[in-house]
Amino acid sequence: MRNILENMDSCVGCSACAQRCPRQCISMVPDDEGFLIPLIDEKRCNDCGLCKKVCPVLNTDGNNPGDAGQAGYPKAWAAWSTDDGIRLNSSSGGLFSMFAESCLLRGGTVFGAAFDKDFMVRHTGISKLSDLDSLRRSKYVQSDISQCYREAEKRLKEHRPVLFSGTGCQIAGLMSFLGKPYPELLTIDVVCYGVPSPKVWSLYLDDMKKRYKGDIASISFRDKKNGWKNYCMYIGFQNGRFYRRTAVKDTFFIGFGKNLLSRKSCYSCHFRHPRSQADLTLADFWGAERLKGIDTLDNKGVSLVIANTPKGQATLDSIREKCYLMETSFREAALGNPRVTESAPMPRSRALFFDDLIRGMRFSSLRRKYMNPFVQTLKLSAKRIAGPRFIERLKKLKRV
């Protein structure tokens, strides 16, 4: 079967090709691992080549606004919203909400990732402040962009403000889809560990529904009841029961942390710094306590904001009064957060995990074999008691 990329493992699933196809003969369908890939209806395709022209993977040298001619960028900041409600209901310091509010108050549309009615993750556009909470907080699953590039383009052509947020590859997809800069567009990407498989997420949810004997009412990947640094997976059920586990003890987070669940293209991502194409980049500022004058003892969350372009910087300046900001250097920020510039490596067990998944291994068995909270707790306790060097020695012994 002919496809847009010779090696489909490098496809990021942004769907720029499907949304740009003038004959609409490309559909996005899940592959065996559960990630969306383009499928061309060859009978209707007339080989116009537009799909290749807008593919961000084939055009990685595209219009990177952080590139040439913008001396002095990127600049980095530790930041948080002075509104505690927003900060506590966000993954890190709540900076995304500040940018989103500013766009919405100017009559604009904000695009970002939200849960649908089945708690699968989809991009959507909102234009009311009351809908902003649906985009808040990271959902650690690859989101389906649906028709959002087209919707954003429609608004931009009407000269209406648009804030588009997403992972680096989704922003790169948008930029190649649009093909030209728009003054009313502000783009924000998140520093990204990798996007986990929607299929694994759906199996995890089915498992949780069975265990808690109820349908799901709400989910937060970044519940801060135990603080920002000890964040929890929270799932509320319609029967009134709830599940709350720190990330180190939750099955899905263990798989995510071991980097078992990400899309293959994430392990050699082309859209991190210095190739981010967004005006602003957001992340957790892990290790913010290293910075002089920052007190993270309240444990409510600190964002890392990277201004990649003068437009990003101007937007940051415009929200200054509503947040705490401390300038640092890009180097300092990247030092404490390797995912700013480097992809997480692919573990050998990823292939085994997906082989088992595709062969139909039950989720409970996958959980026991690959994402076992008991084993994880043992490892952490051993690390705490014996120190990381002991664990390294054990690993070496295992290899022999």
Ligand X SMILES: Cc1cc2nc3c(=O)[nH]c(=O)nc-3n(C[C@H](O)[C@H](O)[C@H](O)COP(=O)(O)OP(=O)(O)OC[C@H]3O[C@@H](n4cnc5c(N)ncnc54)[C@H](O)[C@@H]3O)c2cc1C
Q: How many angstroms separate the Cα of 123 from the Cα of each of 15, 249, 291?
A: 12, 28, 35
Separation CA 62–CA 58 (nearest Å): 9
Please write down the long-range contacts of 356-360, taking CB distance under 8 Å and 24 or more positions apart. 357/33, 357/199, 357/200, 357/203, 358/32, 358/33
Specify the DSSP element, H or E, that contains 99.
helix 95-105
Q: Closest CB to ligand X among 3 and 202?
A: 202
Q: Which of 73, 77, 96, 204 is close enough to bind ligand X by CB under 6 A?
A: 96
Q: Which of 190, 203, 278, 280 is close enough to bind ligand X by CB under 6 A?
A: 190
91 binds ligand X (CB under 6 A): yes
> Binding segment for ligand X among 18-26, 84-92, 237-245, 322-330 (CB under 6 A)?
84-92
Q: Closest CB to ligand X among 40 and 311?
A: 311
Separation CA 36–CA 260 (nearest Å): 17
191 binds ligand X (CB under 6 A): yes
- Tokens 């090696």 identify what position? 7
Q: Which of 94, 108, 198, 255 is close enough to bind ligand X by CB under 6 A?
A: 94
Give the contact letters, 204-233, x = binds to ligand X (CB under 6 A), - = no.
------------------------------
Q: Closest CB to ligand X among 172 and 282?
A: 282
112 binds ligand X (CB under 6 A): yes
| Min dist. Cβ of residue 110 to ligand X (A) | 8
Q: Which residues contact 254 (CB under 8 A, 6 or more apart)?
A: 248, 371, 372, 373, 376
Spatial CA neighbour of 97 closest among 254, 286, 322, 312: 322
192 binds ligand X (CB under 6 A): yes
| Min dist. Cβ of residue 344 to ligand X (A) | 8
121 binds ligand X (CB under 6 A): yes
90 binds ligand X (CB under 6 A): yes
Q: Closest CB to ligand X among 216 and 361?
A: 216
AA letter at 5: L
- Among residue numbers 336 through 355, which ones bind ligand X (CB under 6 A)? 337, 339
Query: CA torsion angle for 352, 358, 360, 365 (degrees, to 10)?
Result: 30
Residue number, nearest CB to ligand X: 112
- Among residue numbers 132 through 161, which ones bind ligand X (CB under 6 A)? 135-141, 143
* Token couple for 200: 């694994």
Spatial CA neighbour of 313 closest among 278, 273, 276: 278
Q: Closest CB to ligand X among 18 and 269?
A: 269
User: Which three-class secondary structure state does DSSP give residue 115?
Assistant: strand
Q: Closest CB to ligand X among 17 and 95?
A: 95
- Tokens 């290749």 identify what position? 52
Binding stretches for ligand X (CB under 6 A):
90-97, 112-113, 121, 135-141, 143, 165-167, 188, 190-193, 195, 282-284, 303, 337, 339
